[in-house]
Structure 1
């Protein structure tokens, strides 16, 4: 899948082309619910943003003139393993999407003339990103559990270094 032998590590260039006719038919029905699903994720993201207020950890960046629908809600923290363990202890799953930067993928060895330390922002992001649960089917109780964890775990936690200006 995607040129992977190991999850998130590409040994060869690949593609995400798994939309067959059956999946297309299902998605055609699901498309009717897309706006509501996007609105629900945006609502959940606003609640997570509020729970992060007052902490050093910033919510995901929004771009002016663009609408974010929060396919993922990704924060950056320096001590990701500790934060992930604290969330796990509270029964909250988290994810680490894209833990290997493109320039470090075996599939691109020899194609990208960059070695370790040459893409510091990408490498730092790969060490710091943490995805929180965000999907339209989250229950009120689950959202409240994530909010409580954000408040108790992340207040006092140093923010990751996203290299972006916020404000």
Structure 2
């Protein structure tokens, strides 16, 4: 039995006719950039997230860069984020010339720990980028309260969390802005790169639309130096089809997570931590084990895919050597990087496949 970490082909086959029709409609229209599919997707994503505006861009990394630029963040500024996340969350801060400042994570949820946030704020701090890791939203309103006291911007990095909720509010609906990635493996994934920024600030949205198109509002008239970051019509059309299924797919992931939770509840392995106020979407189902290497090898031998998220915390990445961090500075994040392992969790996963995965996991932890 071979079980992938994510089966995109199985997903495609469930909606093949709609996807194929959407692609051929774009081909037939011969409109490929900044067309009606993208503009309609922007409206649909804004409505889904509960925001006034949505701005489609080339990818999730660009979404962060453009948002930081639109807020005027650059050299000499500091932006606070988490060391336990994908590199782009901090890379983009450096790309605009600002300095990433890290805050350790909560030992249960692995999201940024708000209790540690305020002590990291300085006169140079301009923004906070909380990350909803693995599809579990954190308490952004608490972070907004702290930000308000210091006049800081809050940019939700919701790349892994479209559809996740906290106390009934969707990811992206609370911060001053939020960014999403539509990388193919995301819960709402394109068949290539794609990204989106959502906000309730119409002026910010206007600035973002200018930045994504070479800094111009009118073609060939450039008000500032911008970027070339546009979601193409093909990807927008595909995402519009998939958006209609997103809630169903997210619920399917929650159901698979419940099976793991129930069948592994007596195992010595650590299950994903939850905030009881959050409704996660399980972009990844991440276990934690002190025997990760052995567990990964056993899964691989059984034909079961797994993956480490993340092997090195951001403060220990060589690219950030200049920041002067050392091992031990963020112990919770560092331990998570030593123990975390994602196992398959997607709607098309069968009960038999889950039971086989659990059999292998239990075999390792029972010494079999």
TM-score by length of 2: 0.37
SS state at 1:42 partner: helix
For residue 117 of structure 1, the aligned residue among 328, 331, 337 is 328
For residue 65 of structure 1, the aligned residue among 273, 277, 284 is 277
Q: Which has the higher contact order (CA 8 A, sep 6+)?
A: 1
Are residues 1:42 and 2:254 paired? yes
For residue 316 of structure 2, the aligned residue among 86, 91, 104 is 104
1:155 positional shift: 4.3
Are residues 1:79 and 2:291 paired? yes
**Structure 1 unmatched ranges of 5 or more:** 3-7, 158-167
Larger radius of gyration: 2
Give per-residue Cα distances to partners, 1:130-161, cap 9 Å, x unaligned. 1011111213332221132233333469xxxx
Contact 2:307 2:343 in 1 (8 A): yes
1:90 corresponds in structure 2 to 302
Q: Residues 155 and 50 (structure 1 numbering): CA distance in 2 closer, same or farther, change over 3 Å? A: farther
Farther-moved stretch of structure 1 (30-39 vs 141-150) = 141-150
More strand by share: 2
Contact 1:77 1:128 in 2 (8 A): yes
C-alpha root-mean-square deviation of aligned residues, in Å? 2.6
1:27 corresponds in structure 2 to 239
TM-score by length of 1: 0.78
1 CA distance for matches of 2:362 and 2:258? 14
SS state at 2:341 partner: strand
Contact 1:47 1:147 in 2 (8 A): no
**Structure 2 unmatched ranges of 5 or more:** 1-58, 62-85, 96-180, 183-192, 195-230
Are residues 1:150 and 2:361 paired? yes
Aligned positions, number: 150
2:340 corresponds in structure 1 to 129
